[in-house]
């Protein structure tokens, strides 16, 4: 019997749900991903099935209508979905971050108001930090919210790269409420900005919230990434995450906390895409012949396969370790940074090696690896670039080992 591995072992519940998601991926996502990718079409049918499976409520507590599963289980699910197509995991990723923000920092009223409808996928969540002039330097945010005479906040400014920016119903939006604050992060607040899902121009109570046409991207197709324009958009004070008294000027630390679990989530996507690249390489290398034998019989190809499989395993272990530490209530900032850094780079490396193994066919749109080649680089950027992860890891290391 194989030795038990406390990191990769699954509980019966985790096994049942990941088996179910794997079957869903094999039957519904993989056969259809090429079509949606090539047409850059939103996979509405797949999303409807995901709602039925409860995948929008995986981590939302049962009392609010979700499954109440932990980050480790969520990580396992994200790996399976990403093995099929990372755009699918992108559709639930920002939703997961929004749910996390509500569960951890939301007032009871806010939880009651949003979580049950989010658990079913009736409303979907996006989150928005980035702006045209900043991504890594979050404290440089320029979008502002100012309190008006009637107690509402008026938001003005432009956001950038908002995944699910059009179809979401709520956007967790980080803005400056005190532009003069020093240090800068003390003057930032997270608003739960409501809008009409799918509407480019919002009217009525959501007037002043515009969603320009989706940005055109090299990969990560199907799921929309948009700018958001706030021009006199009114947000009630009750929509400050945690309520006005608890949440005003607390947005930066709330978002940084959420990014930590977001990084574990991106790491899981790296594992999923790396795993798929390996599967494709294992198959193709045994089918394709060169110099009288399958290319898998050439040692140079075997070395590539060996390196890829090693990267996949290591990335998976780092990712599950970060998730398990978080679930155990232990510090996991350093580990989440390591997992995100390693697994996203492993995703890129495995996809490139698989692409090379496919030879000229890897460059053809007939082969799945071509899509993975365009999708994988996103993971190096989203939720903090590799450079930013190294900065986080370095800082945390020095904090933990201060002399």
Ligand X SMILES: Cc1cc2nc3c(=O)[nH]c(=O)nc-3n(C[C@H](O)[C@H](O)[C@H](O)COP(=O)(O)OP(=O)(O)OC[C@H]3O[C@@H](n4cnc5c(N)ncnc54)[C@H](O)[C@@H]3O)c2cc1C
Q: Which residues are catalytic?
A: 383
Using CB under 6 A as the binding rule, whether residue 130 contacts ligand X is answered as yes
Q: Which of 195, 382, 389, 393 binds ligand X (CB under 6 A)?
A: 382
The residue range among 75-83, 274-282, 338-346, 385-393 that interacts with ligand X, by the rule CB under 6 A, is 385-393
CB of 110 to ligand X, least distance (A): 20
Quote the CA–CA distance of 26 and 284 in Å, as a whole number: 18
Q: Tell me whether residue 347 or residue 384 sits nearer to ligand X (CB atom).
A: 384
Q: d(Cα 57, Cα 246) in Å, to the nearest integer? A: 26
- DSSP secondary structure string, 347-372? HHHHHHHHHHHTGGGGGSTTSHHHHH
Q: Which x/- pattern over 149-188 shows residues binding ligand X (rule: CB under 6 A)?
A: ------------xxx-------------------------
Identify whether the C-beta of residue 212 lies closer than 8 Å to the C-beta of residue 165.
Answer: no
Q: Which of 71, 341, 388, 393 binds ligand X (CB under 6 A)?
A: 388
Among 54, 61, 116, 135, binds ligand X (CB under 6 A): 135
Nearer to ligand X, 136 or 203 (CB): 136
Give the one residue of 9, 11, 387, 395 binding ligand X; rule: CB under 6 A. Answer: 387
Q: Do 222 and 37 contact (CB within 8 A), yes or no?
A: yes
Examine residue 378 and tell whether it contacts ligand X (CB under 6 A).
yes
With CB under 6 A as the contact rule, which of the stretches 6-14, 181-189, 201-209, 374-382 interacts with ligand X? Answer: 374-382
Name the pairing type of β-strands 125-128 and 153-163.
unpaired
| Rounded distance between C-alpha atoms, residue 374 and residue 18, angstroms | 26
Q: Does 136 bind ligand X (CB under 6 A)?
A: yes
Report the DSSP beta bridge partners of residue 171.
Answer: 126, 193
Distance of alpha carbon 188 from alpha carbon 399, whole angstroms: 25
Looking at residue 213, the DSSP 8-state letter turns out to be: P
Query: How many amino acids of this chain bind ligand X (CB under 6 A)?
Result: 21
220 forms part of the interface with ligand X (CB under 6 A): yes
Task: Report the residue number, 28 or 163, with the smaller CB distance to ligand X.
Answer: 163
Both tokens of residue 210? 């515009």
Q: Least Å distance between CB 161 and ligand X?
A: 3
Phi, psi of 167 (to 5 degrees): -85, -10
Closest CB to ligand X among 362 and 384? Answer: 384
Question: Residues 105, 109, 115, 118: is their CA dihedral positive or negative?
Answer: negative
- Per CB under 6 A, 208 contacts ligand X: no
Interface with ligand X in residues 67-106 (CB under 6 A): 94
- The residues facing 202 across adjacent strands are none
Single out the residue of 227, 165, 226 nearest to residue 198, CA to CA.
165
For ligand X, which residue has the nearest CB? Answer: 135
CB closer to ligand X out of 72 and 225: 225
Residue 309 parent element (H or E): helix 299-327
Residues making contact with ligand X (CB under 6 A): 94, 127-130, 134-136, 161-163, 217, 220, 225, 378, 381-382, 384-385, 387-388
């Amino acid at each position: 019997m194989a030795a038990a591995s406390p990191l990769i072992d699954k509980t019966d519940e985790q096994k049942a749900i990941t088996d179910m998601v794997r079957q869903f991926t094999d039957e519904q996502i993989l056969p259809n991903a090429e079509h949606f990718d090539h047409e850059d079409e939103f996979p509405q049918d797949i999303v409807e099935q995901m709602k039925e499976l409860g995948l929008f409520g995986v981590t939302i507590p049962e009392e609010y209508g979700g499954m109440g599963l932990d980050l480790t289980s969520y990580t396992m699910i994200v790996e399976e979905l990403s093995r099929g197509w990372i755009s699918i995991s992108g559709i639930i990723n920002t939703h997961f971050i929004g749910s996390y923000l509500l569960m951890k920092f939301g007032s009871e009223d806010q939880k009651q108001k949003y979580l049950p409808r989010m658990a079913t996928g009736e409303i979907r969540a996006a989150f928005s930090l980035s702006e045209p002039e900043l991504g890594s330097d979050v404290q440089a945010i320029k979008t502002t919210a100012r309190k008006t005479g009637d107690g509402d906040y008026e938001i003005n400014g432009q956001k950038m790269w908002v995944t699910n920016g059009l179809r979401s119903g709520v956007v967790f939006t980080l803005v400056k409420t005190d532009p003069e604050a020093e240090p800068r992060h003390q003057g930032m607040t997270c608003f739960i900005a409501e809008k009409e899902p799918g509407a480019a121009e919002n009217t009525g109570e959501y007037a002043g919230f515009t969603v320009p046409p989706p940005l055109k991207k090299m990969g990560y197709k199907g799921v929309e990434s948009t700018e958001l324009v706030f021009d006199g958009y009114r947000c009630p004070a009750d929509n400050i995450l945690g309520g006005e008294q608890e949440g005003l000027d607390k947005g930066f630390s709330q978002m940084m906390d959420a990014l930590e679990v977001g990084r574990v989530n991106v790491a899981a996507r790296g594992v999923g895409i790396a795993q798929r690249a390996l599967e494709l390489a294992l198959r193709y290398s045994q089918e394709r012949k060169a110099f009288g034998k399958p290319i898998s019989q050439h040692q140079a190809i075997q070395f590539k396969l060996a390196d890829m499989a090693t990267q996949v395993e290591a990335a998976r272990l780092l990712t599950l370790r970060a998730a398990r530490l978080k679930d155990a209530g232990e510090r996991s900032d350093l580990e989440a940074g390591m997992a995100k850094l390693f697994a996203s780079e492993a995703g890129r490396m495995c996809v490139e090696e698989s692409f090379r193994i496919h030879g000229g066919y890897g460059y053809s749109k007939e082969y799945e690896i071509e899509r993975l080649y365009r999708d994988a680089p996103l993971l190096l950027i989203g939720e903090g670039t590799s450079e930013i992860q190294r900065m986080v890891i370095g800082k945390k290391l020095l904090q933990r080992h201060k002399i």
